[in-house]
Amino acid sequence: MTKLADGNDILTLCEVFIGNVLGAFITPALLQMYMRGTWDFGNPSHQTDGTQSIQYLYAQTMKQLGLSVFIPLFVGQVVQNIFTKQTKWAMQYFKLGKVGSFMLLLIMFQSFSTAFYQNAFNEVSHASIIFLVFFNIGIYLFFTVLTYLYARPYIVKLLLSTEPDENSTTVYKYCYKIFRPFYYNRKDTVAIMLCGPAKTAALGVSLVSSQYGAHNPKLGIILVPLVLYQAEQVMTANVLVNFMKKWIHAEDTKADDEENQLEQSEDQASQDTTAEGSSNEIRHEIIYHGDVDKR
């Protein structure tokens, strides 16, 4: 999506890697924090085969994520950096980019298949499904706006609008150097906006199945919000991509217009200087010939 919007796709790759690593540790901890008290029935430690320890859940999560996410990612980075030319040729010749998209579709298909096989959409009420659909869209848009506000904080632009010069104070120079980089350009902002609310299907399914069990009879119901969010985030992002792309290129158009105006001003100044020089030469010629005639 970031590439379609002409955003910073390299920043997106960094975010996906960091998010996948941190998500593997943070998500189980959040579930243990919130699934307590009246919500204890949803705690992953209470499975059909008995109560499992937190250490066991983390071990299962790390095992499955390691085999499905971390090890393939590590091997891919090693191969890409050692065999750069061969990797580039294989990516182009075998269309591996499309293979990755196809694998992502298979993961989503597997999630939908599990939900339908266990009659999850029949067991969940229609009111809950409708609520989830609109709630997912709302939360996606909310986090998109929130990430935009974090990526381009107005207070930074307001207080640090101009670059420091020799007349600037030392405090202003240090503040500009420290805080101004947190006001991201438009390409980086689009990458952040598309990564912030997005949820990786491969990581989400692996986290759910590793904690609740791949053969849990309620796994389909647990996957319903995830599979709905996956489909809705793709559709919503496809709508937003066009606006984001126009927003990015609007800055380029503005910069080109300013550059053209500057070039026109320089050309006009050059023409004025040339015309002024020609006028001076003509004036000197007239004065010279006048002096000659007088003599």
Report the percentage of the chain scoring pLDDT > 90. Answer: 25
In the chain the first and final C-alpha atoms are separated, in Å, by 83
pLDDT above 70 for 273: no
Query: Is the whole model's pTM more than 0.85, yes or no?
Result: no
Domain ranges of the chain: 9-262
Q: pLDDT: is 163 or 290 the higher one?
A: 163
How high is the pLDDT of residue 130?
93
Whole-number Cα distances in Å, 162 to 10, 145, 152, 156, 252 = 28, 26, 16, 11, 20
How high is the pLDDT of residue 282?
57
pLDDT in tens, 186-208: 999 999 999 989 887 778 888 88
Res. 251 pLDDT band, cuts 50 70 90 = confident
pLDDT above 80 for 37: no
Res. 56 pLDDT band, cuts 50 70 90 = confident
